[in-house]
Amino acid sequence: MSGRKHTDIPKIEDYKPLDPAGNTFWMPVPHACSSTLDMSYDVQTALVAWGVIPVCDKPFTQIMHPDDPKVGKFTLPKGWSVPYRGRFEWSLRDENDRERVRIYYESGPYDYIVQSHLRIPFDLQTRISRGKVPPRKWWMELSHHGRTVFKSDVIRPFPKKVRKLQKQMGEVEFSMKVFFPRMGILRPPLEEAAKAFLKENYPDFPVDPNAYW
């Protein structure tokens, strides 16, 4: 929400996730992870498996923050932490300093953004050859905790005759009419190849939230 001053929305003016007691913390009720893999954990299953349990004051009723009903109270597993990342972001990190949840809480007068997303131990990134615009080579890499475990086929998305269009059309027109549409066609098959590799080699993801961490 932005564009107008928010004076009628319940919000925490000085959000600090960690409870003074140190064994619980306040967090916006999480959503599934936002990943280019489009594969995510069941939120409740993952939180329970990790020991991040909603704190309830009566059966099946989580304690919510008195200043913001979107923020709930959770147990903080032993050895876990909630450090500040900067720019209104916090990380819920496990005992090995791996990020399990990304938290965002901004309660300014014109910007009210409250959200948190589960993270996964895999990352899919687009790689391109350097030195030429548009790139001559393009591929995707799947990594597990920063270590590359899969590399897709390398494709050449823009042959010479297509690159010539860039000079004729200009940067903006070329991007809108050629670059982005072509990337939209070529990217899905590479993503599917990465997902197929993930399912074959890491079969417990995402069924078991504790697997591969």
| Whether the bond into 181 is cis, omega within 30 of 0 | no
- Three-state DSSP class for 142? strand
Within this chain, do residues 113 and 135 fall inside the same structural domain, yes or no?
no
Q: Please confirm whether the linkage preceding 188 is cis (ω < 30° from 0).
A: no
pLDDT attached to residue 161:
79
Length of the chain: 213
131 and 187 inside one domain: yes
Q: Tell whether the torsion through CA atoms of 82, 85, 88 and 89 is positive or negative.
A: negative
Alpha carbon dihedral 9, 10, 14, 16, in 10-degree steps, equals -130
Q: Are residues 107 and 133 in the same domain?
A: no
Least confident of 20-29, 41-50, 130-139: 130-139
Residue 8 lies in a domain: no
Domain presence at residue 4: no
Q: Which of 118, 153, 184 is the last residue of a domain?
A: 118
Mean pLDDT computed over every residue of the chain: 88
pTM over 0.95, yes/no: no
DSSP per position, 33-94: ---TT-----HHHHHHHHT-PBPEEETTEE-EETTEEEEEEEE--TT-B--EEETTEEEEE-
Domain count, the chain: 2
Assess if residue 166 is contained within a domain: yes
pLDDT per residue over 27-86, tens digit each?
Answer: 999 988 767 777 889 999 999 999 999 999 988 899 999 999 999 999 999 999 999 999
Report pLDDT digits (tens) over 76-118: 999 999 999 998 999 999 999 999 999 999 987 777 889 999 9
Q: Strand, helix or coil at 96?
A: coil
In whole angstroms, what is the distance from residue 100 CA to residue 71 CA? 17
Burial of 6 (0-12, 13-18, 19+ CB in 10 A): middle
pLDDT for 1 beyond 50: no
Domain presence at residue 53: yes
Give the residue, 127 or 9, on which the prediction is more confident: 127
Q: Does residue 206 have a pLDDT over 80?
A: yes
DSSP code of 98?
A: -
Specify whether the CB–CB gap between 46 and 53 falls below 8 A: no
Do 99 and 128 belong together in one domain?
A: no
Among the three residues 118, 148, 179, which one is the final residue of a domain in this structure? 118
* Residue 209 in this model has a pLDDT that exceeds 90: yes
Q: Are residues 107 and 137 in the same domain?
A: no
* Boundary-marking domain end, from 118, 141, 162: 118
Same domain (yes/no): 126, 114:
no
Structural domain range at position 169: 122-201
Q: Note whether residue 41 is domain-resident.
A: yes
